Amino acid sequence: TERYNAREAEPRWQAEWEKRKLFETAATSEKPPYYVLEMFPYPSGRIHMGHVRNYAMGDVVARYKRAKGFDVLHPMGWDAFGLPAENAAMERKVHPKAWTYENIATMRSQLKSIGLSLDWSREIATCDPDYYAQQQALFLDLLEAGLAYRRKSKVNWDPVDNTVLANEQVVDGRGWRSGALVEQRELTQWFLKITDFAEDLLGALDDLPRWPEKVRTMQKNWIGRSEGLLVRWALANPADATEIQVYTTRPDTLFGASFLAVAADHPIAAARAQSNPALQAFIEECRRAGTSAAALETAEKMGYDTGLKVRHPFDPAIEVPVYVANFVLMDYGTGAIFGCPAHDQRDYDFASKYGLPIVPVVAPQGADAQALVATHAYDGDGVMINSRFLDGMTTDAAFEEVARRLESATLGNAAVAERKVNWRLRDWGISRQRYWGCPIPVIHCESCGPQPAPRDSLPVLLPDDVSFDQPGNPLDRHPTWRDVACPACGGPARRETDTMDTFVDSSWYFARFTAPRAKTPTEKTVAGRWLPVDQYIGGVEHAILHLLYSRFFTRAMKTTGHVGVDEPFAGLFTQGMVVHETYKDAAGEWIAPAEIAITEADGVRRAAKIGSGEPIEIGAIEKMSKSKKNVVDPNDILETYGADTARWFMLSDSPPERDVIWTEAGVEGASRFVQRVWRLANEAPMAPVEPEAFGDAATALRRISHGALARVGEDIERLRFNRCVAAANELANALGQSLANAPSPESDLAFAQREAAEHLVRIVSPFMPHLAEEAWAALGHETLIAESAWPKADPALLATDTVTLPVQVNGKKRDEIVVSREADSASIEKIVRELAAVTSAIGDKPIRKIIVVPQRIVNVVA
């Protein structure tokens, strides 16, 4: 047979699928629905390998589920608003809209050449007026429901460019273009009330079993519920105030308090600074350095003594000083803390710097408490010491005792303390002083205040005639767009010129896909059929914000009557990155993989520049990035090998949640496998009739082929794509060996061989759909494989085919694997080495030994 020609076959099959509208999801169907979605891309210009991996995974699931009889929804769109389009406008004088839609066109055709089973008739771009019209309608709904409101909040202000900067435009406290020190300015901005749902967003995480544990933990930490105490401390020298209230989660450590500290923006700090220029200067310095949690985390602890003293809530004779400190946040708790240096590292650093006492109040039974805190804070468990009536108690008991006593003690005519649940989660500020985003549909009137834009005036369209030759938001200096009549009084008014955070755009697109052309945000019954998304797939970099905002939006859309569910994504999978070796020349410049040739001699790999032969240093394996030039362009791979090879390699080497190392050798291997499947399909005997009985050789082959079919189905359901690849390899080997025996066409073995070839093509079809169609036709089928059902494995052939082996790591069970009964130790070892449960259990320790007890158990010794 001739070699399989991917470059010729792939576009041909893509055209065929498109002609038959195979992947367009009909409006109604008797079949059960299944919604699989990959995070939609930002149209940056070109598809990269990370996209290919992400979409290949989703496509395997989509094609498999379709073959299993589901009505599959698998749409694609563009997260199309955002800053890069405006940067392109400034740098290259191209309009953000033109830039964005050109990129979309390029990337759409790239995605099409990968052969994804997408319903392109549902394509949306968030910058399409049809899309953002509905987003504006949603905003008005949230406004009416009290879930959107306005308040003052800080922004980064570049005093040279006279413009607001996004956080990513502030580099080391300076404007990225001007280099000027960035100031904090207060602007009135729009907020969405995500905090209304804090309790539910936290609690419901426990009802998402098909989410990775680590993502749920990250969300929990972000929402950050803590239980503590608000404690009022009386000022010993009352001046501008009589007390300071602090929030603490460790009231048990109260006798270890050696100072109070307030945030730079705390009213007490401002009051004291009025008569103290040095304190004022310190406060300003704190503000300049930024007061975000991230900025404070890394900054050196600094403080300024206000001269004030407060009295200990249990003993007025104990007085402690009050500082203004840069590590206290104004918008958390009360913006004031008591410092307990012995048991909090930040307080420890602070106390060491300013010579404040470090008194241990918690220590494990019998420990030398002073030694415990000699070099750093102790935050472990123990019993109370140096704490009067608390001594000997556990920290939990001490917490309760302090709370009980202070709740019933009084200061003035109120309790000294009250219990308080605190949340780290803040309301979501969505105002951006940017052009390329969804306009906030509000009109400001001097006499009536902010008015919602009338519904029948939506969408508030972005004007096209804008220029980027001056800093700032072009909408601010566009009078014919900006100046309008007040919808309430008809007097002169101005449009809101801020646009929405682009995270809003991506917080509901999955719902819009269910009825992408509706004249309302969703069609509730249609949304009800599809939501929640059955399987969502994307990068772990979105584990917090995007997913949390989407969870909030789904709840808000339920409140406002657009969907019937709380949770957007029933199943979530976060895939690993595509990584590649890096290369450097003698001058230390990064060199692209395409410019070098690798040779291997005596087990040593060497790199040299193609052409000059100059030796090149082989560096670490890292995430593909432009700056390190270790990027492989999907287009080059598609040109050389075709989409199927790229897709197969992407999913073959490592478990999908881990990084995959892109190597030329790996791609070559995948390419050889493509040809192999093609040969096997062509060499298989043509459709013999099913014999009455099967001999040993035929039965052995059927066990393997039915076993592989069943395993692959199960593994796709669990997104263990690399195991599917292993099963396909095994089957191809078995079939190849069997075919070498060349039986007569009538024999039972011929039947088993043909069946094995069909199963092999079926197994690879979700991964390599073009090759599968071509091979399916070569096997004599007149229908498309994409249109035919996934066959059922014969249970009689499965019963003895496989065994389930528990996998232990150092004697503790971590996972189990299903392998064929005949699998040898070497292949079992290989599977075990790649198990995520095993790799995470051993961490970075080396594997010393893998003991395989055939058909019983596997033990990994690390």
| Interacting residue ranges for ligand ANZ, rule: CB under 6 A | 224, 226, 247-250, 253, 328-329, 332-333, 335, 337-338, 340, 343-344, 422
Residue type, 804: T
For position 488 contacting Zn ion by CB under 5 A, the verdict is yes
User: Does the N-terminal peptide bond of residue 459 adopt cis geometry, omega within 30 degrees of 0?
Assistant: yes
Name the residue nearer to ligand ANZ (CB basis): 425 or 708: 425
Residue 224 gets the label, from left (phi > 0), alpha (psi -120 to 50) or beta, of: left
445 binds, among ligand ANZ, Zn ion, none (CB under 5 to 8 A by kind): Zn ion
Binders of Zn ion in range 431-470 (CB under 5 A): 445, 447-448
Name the residue nearer to ligand ANZ (CB basis): 340 or 570: 340
CA distance 384 to 362: 5
CA distance 327 to 296: 6
Closest distance of CB 557 from ligand ANZ, Å:
30
253 binds, among Zn ion, ligand ANZ, none (CB under 5 to 8 A by kind): ligand ANZ
Closest distance of CB 447 from Zn ion, Å:
5
Stretch near Zn ion under the rule CB under 5 A, chosen from 144-152, 286-294, 489-497, 822-830: 489-497
CA distance 705 to 302: 69
Name the residue nearer to ligand ANZ (CB basis): 344 or 427: 344
Residue type, 227: E
User: Does the N-terminal peptide bond of residue 532 adopt cis geometry, omega within 30 degrees of 0?
Assistant: yes
Asked whether the CA dihedral 234, 237, 242, 246 is positive or negative, the reply is negative
486 binds, among ligand ANZ, Zn ion, none (CB under 5 to 8 A by kind): Zn ion
Q: Beta strand 170-171 with 383-384: parallel, antiparallel or unpaired?
A: unpaired
Closest distance of CB 143 from Zn ion, Å:
17
Name the residue nearer to ligand ANZ (CB basis): 211 or 247: 247
Q: Where would I find the beta strands (DSSP E) of 507-549?
A: 535-539
Q: Is 715 helix (H, G, I), strand (E, B) or coil?
A: helix
Closest distance of CB 418 from Zn ion, Å:
43
Cβ of 152: how many Cβ atoms within 10 Å?
8
Name the residue nearer to ligand ANZ (CB basis): 247 or 323: 247
CA distance 338 to 75: 53
Backbone angles phi, psi at 292, to 5 degrees: -70, 155
Name the residue nearer to Zn ion (CB basis): 143 or 438: 143
Residue count (the chain): 862
Q: Is 165 helix (H, G, I), strand (E, B) or coil?
A: strand
Name the residue nearer to ligand ANZ (CB basis): 122 or 346: 346
40 binds, among Zn ion, ligand ANZ, none (CB under 5 to 8 A by kind): none
343 binds, among Zn ion, ligand ANZ, none (CB under 5 to 8 A by kind): ligand ANZ
697 binds, among ligand ANZ, Zn ion, none (CB under 5 to 8 A by kind): none
Closest distance of CB 347 from ligand ANZ, Å:
7
Name the residue nearer to ligand ANZ (CB basis): 234 or 329: 329
Closest distance of CB 101 from ligand ANZ, Å:
45
Residue type, 775: A
Binders of Zn ion in range 665-704 (CB under 5 A): none
575 binds, among ligand ANZ, Zn ion, none (CB under 5 to 8 A by kind): none
673 binds, among ligand ANZ, Zn ion, none (CB under 5 to 8 A by kind): none
CA distance 339 to 317: 18
Closest distance of CB 332 from ligand ANZ, Å:
4
Tokens coding 706: 């039915």
Backbone angles phi, psi at 693, to 5 degrees: -140, 160
Name the residue nearer to ligand ANZ (CB basis): 337 or 860: 337
488 binds, among ligand ANZ, Zn ion, none (CB under 5 to 8 A by kind): Zn ion
> Who contacts 295 (Cβ-Cβ below 8 Å, separation ≥6)?
289
Name the residue nearer to ligand ANZ (CB basis): 119 or 265: 265
CA distance 608 to 592: 12
Q: Using alpha carbons, select from 522, 546, 575 the residue that is nearest to residue 719.
A: 575
332 binds, among Zn ion, ligand ANZ, none (CB under 5 to 8 A by kind): ligand ANZ
344 binds, among Zn ion, ligand ANZ, none (CB under 5 to 8 A by kind): ligand ANZ
Tokens coding 348: 């420890």
Q: Using alpha carbons, select from 559, 445, 523, 446 the residue that is nearest to residue 148.
A: 559
Name the residue nearer to Zn ion (CB basis): 94 or 484: 484
Closest distance of CB 604 from ligand ANZ, Å:
51
Closest distance of CB 542 from ligand ANZ, Å:
24
Residue 274 gets the label, from left (phi > 0), alpha (psi -120 to 50) or beta, of: alpha
Closest distance of CB 340 from ligand ANZ, Å:
4
Closest distance of CB 193 from ligand ANZ, Å:
21
392 binds, among Zn ion, ligand ANZ, none (CB under 5 to 8 A by kind): none
Closest distance of CB 259 from ligand ANZ, Å:
11
249 binds, among ligand ANZ, Zn ion, none (CB under 5 to 8 A by kind): ligand ANZ
CA distance 534 to 247: 42
List 181, 489, 742, 853, residue binding Zn ion (CB under 5 A): 489
For position 778 contacting Zn ion by CB under 5 A, the verdict is no
422 binds, among Zn ion, ligand ANZ, none (CB under 5 to 8 A by kind): ligand ANZ
Q: How many chain residues bind Zn ion (CB under 5 A)?
A: 7
Name the residue nearer to ligand ANZ (CB basis): 337 or 735: 337
Name the residue nearer to ligand ANZ (CB basis): 253 or 497: 253
Cα atoms in the Cβ-side hemisphere of radius 13 Å centred on 260 = 32
Cα atoms in the Cβ-side hemisphere of radius 13 Å centred on 33 = 18
Q: How far does CA 126 lie from the centroid of its chain?
A: 19
Closest distance of CB 243 from ligand ANZ, Å:
16
Name the residue nearer to ligand ANZ (CB basis): 141 or 347: 347
Cross-strand pairs, 604 = 601
Q: Are 711 and 723 in contact (CB under 8 A)?
A: yes
User: Does the N-terminal peptide bond of residue 41 adopt cis geometry, omega within 30 degrees of 0?
Assistant: no
Closest distance of CB 346 from ligand ANZ, Å:
7
CA distance 829 to 835: 10
Q: Beta strand 572-575 with 535-539: parallel, antiparallel or unpaired?
A: parallel
Name the residue nearer to ligand ANZ (CB basis): 39 or 351: 351
Q: Where would I find the beta strands (DSSP E) of 236-302?
A: 243-248, 259-262
> Who contacts 604 (Cβ-Cβ below 8 Å, separation ≥6)?
none
User: CA-based diameter of the chain, in Å?
Assistant: 105
448 binds, among ligand ANZ, Zn ion, none (CB under 5 to 8 A by kind): Zn ion
Instruction: Point out which residues bind Zn ion (CB under 5 A).
Output: 445, 447-448, 486, 488-489, 491
